[in-house]
Amino acid sequence: MSNSLEGKIAVVTGGSTGIGLGIAKRFVSEGATVVITGRRQAELDAAVAEIGPKASAFRADVAVLADLDALYAEVERTHGRIDVVVANAGGGSLAKLGEITEEHFDSTFAINVKGVLFTVQKALPLMRNGGSVIVTGSTTSIMGTEAFSVYSGTKAAIRNFVRSWILDLKGRNIRVNVLSPGPIDTPALRGVAEQAEGLIDYLTSQVPLGRIGDADETGKVAVFLASDASSFVNGAELFVDGGMAQV
């Protein structure tokens, strides 16, 4: 343990499972105090028990702006500031062009785009100058993926958010970067795989390292982006994909 995040206050949306949980656990192991969000109280309670006493949970849907307001009011009351925001909450399901419904489109963009935008914007009054914002992207932001165009479009959108936000935040020294995982062994990936037989094996075959990733591997990269080790990294997209999107 290097304690590279000692004393920092971090908010991780979608922190009860998968990549968000991996990030939250790593942050705490490096000395941070972490507030996680999610939509299901039972999963939040289990996650806090797993992460330990330096974690707390707040039930919130990032697509509901009143929930975000309540979250940040609680963070201000209990911690007074935010050093790191990880806009991680997101999700998607498969639908080919010709089969995409309005509900599918609206729900995916509400969580992955609207939710990310307002997670970051509403955090700004509490963010200390010199803080770090990490947005969870995806290799799909730069790749074509069959039956996954709506999800992929959301990740391309937030990739450009980050390019533009670093200009909007000039003068505050708040760094904003994208952490873009490839296939990571999470409940979300397993859920998508249930819709597409053989998906895990296919994804494994596409990764030059010959395996899918582990949530802790995204957590270690998030620690880098949250810490002073990345003090001159800004507006970047850092892929944690075993090389999948690079070949």
Q: What is the mean pLDDT of residues 90-94?
A: 92
Q: Which residue has the tokens 């935040």?
A: 169
Confidence class for position 197, pLDDT limits 50, 70, 90: confident
In sequence order, which residues have a C-beta less than 8 Å from that of residue 198 and are 6 or more positions away? none
In sequence order, which residues have a C-beta less than 8 Å from that of residue 16 and are 6 or more positions away? 36, 37, 38, 40, 43, 44, 46, 47, 57
Check pLDDT > 70 for residue 1: no
**The domain spanning residue 190 has which CATH number?**
3.40.50.720
Tell me, yes or no, whether 1 lies in a domain. no
Confidence class for position 193, pLDDT limits 50, 70, 90: confident
What pTM value is reported for the model? 0.96
Sign of the C-alpha dihedral, residues 99, 100, 102, 103? positive
Distances (CA, A) of 192 to 15, 90, 196, 197: 19, 13, 7, 9
> If you average pLDDT over every residue of the chain, what do you get?
96
d(CA 222, CA 198): 29
pLDDT in tens, 26-48: 999 999 999 999 999 999 999 99
Where in the sequence numbering do the catalytic residues fall?
A: 151
Structural domain span for residue 214? 9-246
d(CA 87, CA 11): 8
Tell me, yes or no, whether 3 lies in a domain. no
Q: For the chain, what is the domain count?
A: 1
pLDDT of residue 192: 81
Phi, psi of 222 (to 5 degrees): -60, -40
* % pLDDT > 90, the chain: 93
Tokens read off for 187: 């409940």
